[in-house]
A = this chain, B = another copy of it.
Amino acid sequence: MSENRVQMVVQESTPTLIARQLRRLIGQGQLAPGERLNEVELSQDFGVSRGPFREAVQRLTQQGLLVSIRNKGVFVVELTPEDVRDVYIGRTALERYAAELIIERGSPAEAGEKLLEAADEMELAGKQDDLDALVESDITFHSLLVSLANSPRLRQMHSTLMIETRMSMTLEAQSGTQIFRAEDHRDIARAISDKDRSRADQLLAEHLDYSDFMIDSAS
> What is A's interface to B at a CB cutoff of 8 Å?
11-13, 15, 19, 51, 54-56, 58-59, 61-64, 68, 70-71, 86-87, 89-90, 92-94, 96-98, 101, 151-154, 156-157, 161
Contacts and interface: CB of A to CB of B under 8 A. Distances in A.
Q: How many copies does the complex hold?
A: 2
Contacts of A12: 70
Contacts of A64: 153, 156
A137 B11 CA distance: 41
Nearest to A97: B93
A55 to B, nearest CB: 5
A37 B48 CA distance: 24
22 contacts: A12-B70, A13-B70, A15-B58, A19-B62, A51-B51, A55-B58, A56-B58, A59-B61, A62-B63, A86-B154, A89-B97, A89-B154, A90-B151, A90-B153, A90-B157, A92-B97, A93-B94, A93-B96, A93-B98, A96-B97, A153-B161, A157-B157
A202 to B, nearest CB: 12
A153 B51 CA distance: 29
A199 B152 CA distance: 28
Contacts of A19: 62
Contacts of A71: 11
A90 B151 CA distance: 8
Give 6 nearest A-B pairs by CB, closest first.
A93-B97, A90-B153, A11-B70, A59-B62, A58-B58, A62-B62
A68 B96 CA distance: 32
Nearest to A71: B11
Nearest to A57: B55
